[in-house]
Amino acid sequence: MNNKSHERYIDVARVFSMASVIMIHVGAISWYDGPFSIYPWGVMNLFDLLSRYCVPVFLMISGYLFLDPDRDIPVRKIYMRYLPRLLAAFFFWSFLYALITSGFATQRTLGNGVGLKIVQDTFWGHYHMWYMYVIVGLYVVTPALRPIAADRRAARYFLIASYLLGYVMPMIQMIPFIYEHTAKYTNRLELRFILGYSFYYLAGYYFGSMEMTQKQQRLAYLIGTIALVFSVTVVTAYVLIMQFPNSELHEYYTAGVPVYSIAAFIFFKYKFNKLDSDSKIGRMVTWMSKLSFGVYMAHDFGLIVFKKLGITPVIASPFISMPLMMVADLIISLFIAWIVSLIPGLRKWVI
């Protein structure tokens, strides 16, 4: 029996990652509000970049579990079990968000374009549901990636090529002069298969199944820290000079985020795998981990309320307000996910 889904560090990684997703979206409330200075905007930027490992780690956990050659995941199971669940969850949560954001909650009518907007928003999904499209795509290519994951040499080559061409090259091309003279050539390479989030998916199994010495672990942490400091420095300097944030520098496909995220994944693996599941903390972590998907889907409900009430990250010092808002929204999201999980039939399909 494969017991990877019960490894303690995976639960811990899920809990920390879902909290970090909320932290990023808390900061996004005031992300484009000036003045763009070291304080308070720079503090929000620091919290944002510290939390950027979250989605990559979620993807690496999925890759670690789904790309395992010893785990029986036939194509039929992907299309008959996993994808239907994703679609069910997507439409359930998307419809709830559509009801709230379409105007129906205040107008109580389907006229004036409200009904059409509900339909459109339900199929498009709330802003954070882009992640669902990514997971669907990765599940579809899982049968093609599994043989690569099983071959360490092929996997290593894939990761190196994907990182250089999918993360380093695009970041270099953010420099205007370089982009103008190289994009017309690089865009013709048609490297879609090794670009994007398949890197994280494969990296999850590659590093999750690798046994690292303490020296290798420390090296990974050092390189990850350097990547994080580099990202914070570059983004802060850019915003101070341009006086407006460039969201592309924060995306998960920039060069520093993958390195930092892999270091975070390795940290969770080696620092939390021996967590006592029978302890009070262990049981709480397990419970929160089981609800993590539901929390991800539901977490913007609380943030919508915060915005309506005028609660923002700069209502006080961001050093205080952002962690407090994150914890408050996490509690709200856990409550919503827990309530939904108690409804017969929904726990299996939407949590």
Indicate if the pLDDT at residue 327 is higher than 50.
yes
Task: Identify the CA nearest to 168 among candidates 199, 211, 145, 139.
Answer: 199
Indicate if the pLDDT at residue 4 is higher than 70.
no
Average pLDDT over residues 91-116: 84
Neighbours of 96 (CB within 10 A): 18
Indicate if the pLDDT at residue 60 is higher than 90.
yes
Indicate if the pLDDT at residue 176 is higher than 90.
no
Least confident stretch, 86-100, 175-189, 216-230: 175-189
Average pLDDT over residues 334-343: 96
Entry pTM: 0.92
Indicate if the pLDDT at residue 303 is higher than 70.
yes
Band of pLDDT at residue 344, cut at 50, 70 and 90: confident
Average pLDDT over residues 89-103: 93
| N-to-C CA span, the chain | 24
pLDDT in tens, 23-53: 999 999 998 887 899 999 999 999 999 999 9
Q: What is the pLDDT of residue 172?
A: 83
Alpha carbon distance 213, 11 (integer Å): 23
Q: What is the pLDDT of residue 246?
A: 80
Q: Is the pLDDT higher at 179 or at 243?
A: 243
Q: What is the pLDDT of residue 245?
A: 86
Helix then strand then coil, in percent of the chain rounded to 5, is: 75, 0, 25
Q: To the nearest whole number, what is the mean pLDDT of the chain?
A: 91
Average pLDDT over residues 308-328: 96
- Cβ distance 2 to 70 under 8 Å? yes
Indicate if the pLDDT at residue 1 is higher than 50.
no
Rg of the Cα atoms in the chain? 21
Indicate if the pLDDT at residue 180 is higher than 80.
no
Task: Identify the CA nearest to 103 among candidates 94, 112, 95.
Answer: 112
Alpha carbon distance 345, 322 (integer Å): 35
Task: Identify the CA nearest to 43 among candidates 225, 314, 327, 254.
Answer: 314
Q: What is the pLDDT of residue 14?
A: 97
- Cβ distance 219 to 263 under 8 Å? no
Indicate if the pLDDT at residue 55 is higher than 90.
yes
Indicate if the pLDDT at residue 5 is higher than 60.
no
Give the largest Cα separation in the chain, rounded.
64
Band of pLDDT at residue 110, cut at 50, 70 and 90: confident
Alpha carbon distance 302, 277 (integer Å): 30
Indicate if the pLDDT at residue 6 is higher than 70.
no
Q: What is the pLDDT of residue 192?
A: 63
